[in-house]
Structure 1
Amino acid sequence: MKLFLKIFFVLFCVFIQAQKKHYWLIDTETNVRKKVKDSVSAVKFLDSLSQNNYFFTQLKEVKVKGDSTEIFYDKGKNYNETYVDLSDSIVQKLKIQKDFFTKNLDSTKRSINKKYIDEGYSFSRIKSKYKGKKNGFPVIGLDINKNDKRVINGFVVKGYERVPKRFIKNLEKEFKGKTYDDKNLLAINKSFQGHPFVTLERQPQTLFTKDSTNIYLFMEKKKTNTFDGVIGFGNDKTDKFTLNGTMNVNFRNMFNGFEAINLYWQRNPDRGQTFDLEVDIPYLLKSNIGMNTKVNIYRQDSTFANVKFLPAFYYHLNNRNKIGFRGTLETSSVIDTLYTQGKDYNKRGIGIWYEMTEPTDIDLFLYKTKISAGYDFLTTTYTKGNIKANQNQFYFYGEHNYHLSGNHFINIKGEGRMMDSKMEFSTNELFRFGGWNSMRGFNENSLAADYFYYGSLEYRYLIGSQAFFDLFGQYGQLNNKSLGVKPKLYSVGLGFNFFIPIGLMSFQLSNGNEFGNPFKFNDIKIHWGILSRF
């Protein structure tokens, strides 16, 4: 009470000396001089001392010298060890003891205040009040000034503003109305980490008004077009050295709709060629429904050719998960009349699929986690004899980059496909796998099966953020009913991946074989590739 009477005395003195322009606060213990602009600022400073553990602050003297007013004070001892007496509102809210002793009053106040902030009271303030002494320590009453509770009311896009409107609506659907706190702010920021099309130039900013809380997103458009080229060296079935390769070009977000156009071409050592054209439009008519259309053409030298058309529609469950339906239209023609293992056929069917992608904050990796799975029901009509048969096809792919510690990572990957029918399958309708993106010790698409699976374990050591070494081992099995074989396969190898000015370059040595067969050094496959963004 004496402190406040003295403060009022200061105000009175200042009032009667209104023409005075300079105000100095002087600590009698340290002689530190602090200049303030007016009397109100002086009072606020002295009050702040009593709110920050200097409970016995005393006003010693006020001197007026011409146009200068000097205020001498003694802030006394800083009491951080105190008895605490909480207000009834805090006790009821936090369900804690009303009276207790603390060795760190600052920490206690921060802890209580954080609980209110986490509930959206962003401008809450703990008020301290001296209530006397107990056992030589002050007794401090703590109360809360909560102010208004804050929730997220909306988003404002700055910088790259031509993002799909549905994308922003999905953000609002996920976060609008939620409590404004650190947890949700981190979640908003994380939703942009590793996003394929946009990034944030800076952390999300907040504009508080009397009635609203808006999050400002300063977006930047990513370079998302990619060229992925791979050259492979190895031996074909006749042990003849051959050159093969893959070219994959992606045009993405060129029209600011998060759309993608993909062109893929591949030639394997056994003179087989693959061509894919894929178009993906994620937000049809500003909705969460997307469309994906794919055309696949495979030709095996002059033996046979397959053409497949896959139209699909899907729904965005959220930014990382989608589920959809697709149709299948496929036709195959045997070109070589001496090729008796193949049959002309047509396939029609429908299916369902699911895909989940979790982005990564490591530029050297494509993603942290990816899972995709699907099922198709097909009707196959074999031209010769007009024979019809139903087929079931299943597919699963999963990959995850697991951080061990420091620069050490483990990449785990698995894939499997199966087709089931009462009819015997012709060779030209079997699944084909092997090569750079599957069983890496084998030639591209050199393995054919009606059922296969493989698993891969790869150790990766990062060299900063620009390169990594890898060692891998793979195990797999295939089943080919038409040939009556189901060999067990393995593959081992090592590689080096690093950034150069034009993109991410990869170099890899691998060797794969069937268990029981001798290891052959001349079966080593060499792959060199580059992934460039533009």
Structure 2
Amino acid sequence: MKKASFLLLIIYTLFSSKLFCQNLHLKINGNTEHETSLIDSLNYLKKHKDYTSIKREIDSVQKRLYKIGYIENELKETIKINDSLFTSRIHLKKKFNTIYVYYDKTKIKRSLLEIISKNIFDDYFELELNKVENALNLINFKISEEGLPFSKLRLSNIKVKDSFNLSAHLIIESEVKKRTISNIMIKGYEKFPHSYLNHFLKIKPSQVFDLTKIRSKTNELNNLRFANQIKSPEVLFSKDSTTLYLYLEKAKSNSFDGFLGFGTNEETNKLEFDGYLNLNLTNNLNFGESFKLLYKSDENDQKTFQADLTLPYLFKSPIGVDLSLRIFKKDSSFTTVNQALKLHYQINPKHKVYAGLLSTESNNLLTENISPIISDYNTQYYTFAYEFIKPHPLHLLFPINSKLYLETNFGKRKSLNTQEKQSQISIDAFKTFHLNRKNSIFLRLNSAFLNSDTYLENELSRFGGINSIRGFEENSLFASLFGLINTEYRYQLNNSIYIHSIIDAAYFENKILNTREKLFGYGFGFGVLTQAGLFRFNYANGKNENQKFKLSNSKIHISLVANF
């Protein structure tokens, strides 16, 4: 007897669990086949776990019918057919197409109504019933943008106007006075330069409060090298004030960049080394300032020293200043000193324009002036430039997605008691096309052009090397005009390692030697993000269009960019 009772208990437990877990089915019909078909088009949920879920779904269907114009729809019955099937019947009745909404012209602008309605009159506008909810949400959003974040609106006194149309009154409840930002509090990085709030983000006290725009603007903080946003902005509302809280942290923005290159000298067949050091200090004084120092020693006995200082938002104004000093020495042939003073204006976080003066002085070091193409000269230029930068702050390996820098110079050159007009133009642009999470293509265009009646060797542009066309010695090519394209196909093995191809091409002209050449560079490389910084290795072989490949022309470039 005990065994039989135990067996019955097991059978009851198994079958009852299946019974309790079975799904309930819902079928909703209309008064006619057309009504049933229309209800089915709503794609309502037909399987449910209990009767409460069925009731909620019927209510949801009725609300959706209200929104598309069946405001008089009526639930007639809900019947249990068997243990797993329930049927309901809804009478849709008449469909209304349009609602005439009467409004107060003093509380809502006609320009706002033009966004949501095509038929607007002095005291009312027309809306299709299936668009009413979205239209009201848009109106409320736009009113909030105007400094009224607590505004409320609703349709009141809804009536049947005629056989197919309704009428209603739009009621808007909002504060009498618009809210403005009373104070801005910075948490986490209290010494953040406030000039960047006023001119970079364009957020300042007394500004009309709009939380959507504020969030959009503060996201641009992640594009700054020296600060990150660690939390979304918050707002404290009181009766008479609105305080905005920004949560920031100071980021590592200093960098040290260097590379070592070596190759075989074609004349001596000896291994030669070259390299450079590049130091970048940013925001160490909590002013947003930037100081760059570059020293380069090339294998062709060329030395370069360059110092750049950027001071943004001087005296809390939107204007900043850029100072630059560059000294170049070519063995014992000549030295060239460039000095630049530019004023810049930050249009928005991505766009910046420059205007200023550029001065150049070059001296012939040859004791016997056996080269008429090297001569003492000095130039005075007016310079104008434009810069666009689109960062990719969440990408550690490639933090800048695209960049464009365009500069033009106009002025005169004085040399040996002669004077002539000159102009220069240069462009440096690159973009990374992300095909997917692991694959991307990098394209870079770099070009410069000097327009003059006569040319001197010590004023020509110099290019070649790891930051130019790879596979050639650093600054070994002199040109009055050049244009080059760098391409890389990049494959990211993980978040800290990538490999890439190298396919470079260049065209240049030298008006002094009356030469025109096409150059090519091919190779491969990889990058590794270490605790010390980004380590890069490039192997490239360079040639001109009429030259065969030689392994002895290959160049290996190694560089390390360390952030601190």
Instruction: Give the TM-score normalised by the residue count of structure 1.
Output: 0.75
Aligned length: 447
2 CA distance for matches of 1:313 and 1:185?
Answer: 28
Q: Would the aligned equivalents of 2:215 and 2:232 in 1 still touch at CA under 8 Å?
A: no
Q: How far apart are 1:449 and its partner, in Å?
A: 0.5
Matched residue SS, 1:487: strand
Q: Would the aligned equivalents of 1:152 and 1:215 in 2 still touch at CA under 8 Å?
A: no
User: Match of 1:510?
Assistant: 540
User: Match of 2:65?
Assistant: 82
**Structure 1 counterpart of 2:360, from 330, 335, 342:** 330
- Over the matched positions of the two proteins, sequence identity in percent amounts to 26
Choose 90-99 or 198-207, whichever is displaced more.
90-99
Q: Would the aligned equivalents of 1:343 and 1:428 in 2 still touch at CA under 8 Å?
A: yes
User: Match of 2:181?
Assistant: 153
**Structure 1 counterpart of 2:191, from 153, 156, 162:** 162
Choose 358-367 or 335-344, whichever is displaced more.
335-344
Q: Counterpart of 1:231 in structure 2: which amino acid?
A: L
Task: Spell out the pairing of 1:63-462 with structure 2 (5 A cutoff).
Answer: 78=59, 79-84=62-67, 88=101, 94-95=116-117, 100=129, 112-113=136-137, 116-120=140-144, 122-123=149-150, 146-148=173-175, 153=181, 155-170=184-199, 173=202, 177=207, 180=210, 182=212, 184-238=213-267, 239-337=269-367, 340=371, 341-361=373-393, 362-383=395-416, 386-423=417-454, 425-462=455-492
2 CA distance for matches of 1:308 and 1:100?
Answer: 69
| 1:289-345 deviation per Cα after TM superposition (whole angstroms, max 9, x unaligned) | 211111111112222222222222222223332222222222222223355142222
1 CA distance for matches of 2:128 and 2:297?
Answer: 78
2 CA distance for matches of 1:418 and 1:209?
Answer: 60
2 CA distance for matches of 1:314 and 1:320?
Answer: 13
**CA shift in 2, pair 1:400/1:392, >3 Å:** same
Choose 91-100 or 263-272, whichever is displaced more.
91-100
Q: How far apart are 1:407 and its partner, in Å?
A: 2.4
2 CA distance for matches of 1:257 and 1:191?
Answer: 18
**CA shift in 2, pair 1:124/1:348, >3 Å:** closer
Q: Would the aligned equivalents of 2:201 and 2:348 in 1 still touch at CA under 8 Å?
A: no
**CA shift in 2, pair 1:265/1:366, >3 Å:** farther
**CA shift in 2, pair 1:185/1:280, >3 Å:** closer
2 CA distance for matches of 1:98 and 1:382?
Answer: 76
Q: Would the aligned equivalents of 1:157 and 1:216 in 2 still touch at CA under 8 Å?
A: yes
Q: Counterpart of 1:221 in structure 2: which amino acid?
A: K
Q: How far apart are 1:497 and its partner, in Å?
A: 1.1
**CA shift in 2, pair 1:115/1:242, >3 Å:** farther
Matched residue SS, 1:501: coil
Q: Counterpart of 1:422 in structure 2: which amino acid?
A: D
User: Match of 2:41?
Assistant: none
| 1:264-301 deviation per Cα after TM superposition (whole angstroms, max 9, x unaligned) | 01111111111111111112222122111111111122
| 1:17-40 deviation per Cα after TM superposition (whole angstroms, max 9, x unaligned) | xxxxxxxxxxxxxxxxxxxxxxxx
User: Match of 1:496?
Assistant: 526
Matched residue SS, 1:187: helix
Matched residue SS, 1:168: helix
Q: Would the aligned equivalents of 1:205 and 1:215 in 2 still touch at CA under 8 Å?
A: yes
| 1:443-470 deviation per Cα after TM superposition (whole angstroms, max 9, x unaligned) | 1101101111112222222334322222
Q: Would the aligned equivalents of 1:81 and 1:101 in 2 still touch at CA under 8 Å?
A: no
Matched residue SS, 2:366: coil
Q: How far apart are 1:349 and its partner, in Å?
A: 2.6
| 1:323-376 deviation per Cα after TM superposition (whole angstroms, max 9, x unaligned) | 222222222222233551422222223222222222222221242221111122
2 CA distance for matches of 1:357 and 1:227?
Answer: 21
1 CA distance for matches of 2:242 and 2:427?
Answer: 43
Task: Spell out the pairing of 1:470-485 with structure 2 (5 A cutoff).
Answer: 470-485=500-515
Q: Counterpart of 1:373 in structure 2: which amino acid?
A: L
1 CA distance for matches of 2:381 and 2:158?
Answer: 80
Q: How far apart are 1:486 and its partner, in Å?
A: 0.8
Q: How far apart are 1:476 and its partner, in Å?
A: 1.4
Q: How far apart are 1:507 and its partner, in Å?
A: 1.1
Q: How far apart are 1:156 and its partner, in Å?
A: 2.8
Q: How far apart are 1:174 and its partner, in Å?
A: 5.9
Choose 197-206 or 476-485, whichever is displaced more.
197-206
Q: Counterpart of 1:347 in structure 2: which amino acid?
A: T
- Structure 2: 5+ residue stretches without partners: 1-54, 72-98, 105-109, 118-124, 160-165
Matched residue SS, 2:223: coil
- Structure 1: 5+ residue stretches without partners: 1-73, 103-107, 133-138
| 1:73-104 deviation per Cα after TM superposition (whole angstroms, max 9, x unaligned) | x99963444324578359995439767579xx
1 CA distance for matches of 2:494 and 2:102?
Answer: 52
2 CA distance for matches of 1:336 and 1:101?
Answer: 85
Matched residue SS, 2:374: coil
**CA shift in 2, pair 1:151/1:448, >3 Å:** farther
Q: Would the aligned equivalents of 1:288 and 1:316 in 2 still touch at CA under 8 Å?
A: yes
Matched residue SS, 1:88: strand
Q: Would the aligned equivalents of 2:491 and 2:498 in 1 still touch at CA under 8 Å?
A: yes
Matched residue SS, 1:201: strand
Q: How far apart are 1:530 and its partner, in Å?
A: 0.8
Q: Would the aligned equivalents of 1:488 and 1:515 in 2 still touch at CA under 8 Å?
A: yes
Q: How far apart are 1:209 and its partner, in Å?
A: 3.2
Choose 354-363 or 165-174, whichever is displaced more.
165-174
Q: Would the aligned equivalents of 1:237 and 1:270 in 2 still touch at CA under 8 Å?
A: no
1 CA distance for matches of 2:214 and 2:261?
Answer: 46
Q: Counterpart of 2:140 in structure 1: which amino acid?
A: Y
User: Match of 2:10?
Assistant: none
